[in-house]
Structure 1
Amino acid sequence: MNLTMSCFMCSRRRGFSVIEMLIVLAVLAGLIAVIAPIGVNTLRKSQAVSVAKDLKTLSSVFSSKIYLDGGVPVVIGELGRNVDGRSFGAAWKKNDDGEYNYFVFTNRSVDFETVSDVLVDSRQGIPFGIDDFTFLDGGLGRESLDSETIYYSLLGENFIAPLTEFGSTFNEISEGLKTLIQEFFVNNGRYPRDWIDKESGKDYRFEDLSLDASFWANSAFGGVVYKPAGKLLRVSPDKGYKFVFNFLGSSEKGELTERLKWDLIYNIGNDSADTGCWYFHSLEGRKIDISTLEIVKLS
């Protein structure tokens, strides 16, 4: 065998076949498929924790300005040398008793569940009743608030403007609406109307309950859309959320997403089904154990 042939055959023995290359690529693809989600979730959690820490720091400085310096800051830069006014804002008001209400907030898109694990009193959404709050210059303003806004006050939930006049949690809001519907029936001998007048544009679902229809009909609170409907209270998950729950008397799990266009229904006064119960999809559907309801943000 000559030297040329010997080198050629040796080179072939050191190479890879097409099948071997495909196997290696398949293994690499599998590893990437496993590792990539872990890396993404770790990064997402890290960003949320960072936002939580920033909100805590900004709130702590705001509190110090009020109770140690005897006044409120005017510009967002007073809360820290390098505060990003494109991502954070703060607002305050002084009550009749001389106490201050304030909150700091962000428009950064991060996982709220992780933030709330770090800041127990943090909230997500548009705070209710802040028309008379003053927003600090140089930071996010009132127009930046939306359903994804995360806000916080070091002083606790009683010093933060709630999401609605009833509160911020599902239990608070749903109980508040149920009470309004029942009181309307007692005072008027009938239940509220459950339609929108096409000519006038009046949304009687909310106006009969003396609620701001433009606020309620176009908002979700904590991932939940509330829809009073005469003798019923309907709730559905907002886009990007899902409901997970147990059916009553069973460990079987139910799930509801925004794409299904279905509701969870509380029966206040419809005689066709048991009153005081929550149902899945319709009053002919199955009862659910509302105490097991989880409002989950989709990744």
Structure 2
Amino acid sequence: MSRKKGFSLVELLIVLAVMAALIATITPVALNAIKKSKATQVAQNLKTLASAIENAAYVNGVNDNHVLKAGTTTPIVLSDLGRDIDPEKYGVWYTGTSNKPGEFEVLIFYKGTDVDAKLVNQTMPNATDTKPNEFDSIAGNNQLGSKSLPNTKEGIFYTLTFSVY
């Protein structure tokens, strides 16, 4: 009895079914890892912006209108604070407080819709998906990056307060 070389149709279908089962099992895990990595990237960028704006205020000072400066006269811009931070998606709004001279309240936000705020919150517990109401009245010249604040549930928000002596 002679047998032909090659695979039978049944063997080929079994191999394809096993491969399909493996792909179906691995795909959700891979997609979840991609979502978590994007959320971690956003959290890291928020932390970078927070640290950079605070450092810029300490190093360069502020002017009489509470505008952070890049040098002696020029205001700081978002691209001065971090690399690979898209000003269309990230923004920093800040204001000097009336409580203490040199004290600043800062709102740093990501207004992309491609990241789950709960995943960002796992990496950065102070980040939230709700915009604080006190930032609705910030003057337009105290912004870095985005020209408008996102709506209340349109982004990921991180706030901080610091003092420049």
Structure 2, unpaired ranges of 5+ = 63-67, 70-75
Corresponding residue number in structure 2 for 1:111: 116
Aligned residues: 146
Instruction: Name the CA distance, whole Å, in 1 between partners of 2:125 and 2:133.
Output: 19
- By how many angstroms is 1:35 displaced? 0.4
Instruction: Name the CA distance, whole Å, in 1 between partners of 2:154 and 2:21.
Output: 34
Corresponding residue number in structure 2 for 1:78: 80
Map residues 9-158 of structure 1 onto 2, 5 A cutoff: 13-71=4-62, 72-73=68-69, 74-96=76-98, 97-98=100-101, 99-108=103-112, 109-134=114-139, 135-137=142-144, 139-155=145-161
CA RMSD in angstroms comes to 2.3
Q: For the structure 1 residues 85 and 154, does the alpha-carbon distance in structure 2 shift closer, same or farther, using more than 3 Å as the test?
A: same
What secondary structure sits across from 1:63 in the alignment?
helix
Instruction: Name the CA distance, whole Å, in 1 between partners of 2:34 and 2:83.
Output: 26
Runs of 4+ aligned residues of structure 1 deviating over 4 Å after TM superposition are none
Q: For the structure 1 residues 154 and 56, does the alpha-carbon distance in structure 2 shift closer, same or farther, using more than 3 Å as the test?
A: farther
Deviation per CA, 1:140-164: give whole Å up to 9, x if none: 23253441310113549xxxxxxxx
Q: Which amino acid aligns with 2:96?
A: K
Percent sequence identity is: 32
Q: Which amino acid aligns with 1:149?
A: G
CA contact (8 A) 2:43 2:120 kept: yes
Question: Rg: which structure is higher?
Answer: 1
Structure 1, unpaired ranges of 5+ = 1-8, 157-299
What secondary structure sits across from 1:61 in the alignment?
helix
Q: For the structure 1 residues 68 and 78, does the alpha-carbon distance in structure 2 shift closer, same or farther, using more than 3 Å as the test?
A: same
CA contact (8 A) 2:129 2:157 kept: yes
Q: Which amino acid aligns with 1:67?
A: Y
- By how many angstroms is 1:47 displaced? 0.8
Deviation per CA, 1:82-127: give whole Å up to 9, x if none: 4311221010111112211011111122122221122121111233
Higher relative contact order (CA 8 A, sep 6+): 2
Instruction: Name the CA distance, whole Å, in 2 between partners of 1:21 and 1:77.
Output: 55
Instruction: Name the CA distance, whole Å, in 1 between partners of 2:25 and 2:5.
Output: 31
Corresponding residue number in structure 1 for 2:72: none
What secondary structure sits across from 2:133 in the alignment?
coil
Corresponding residue number in structure 2 for 1:194: none
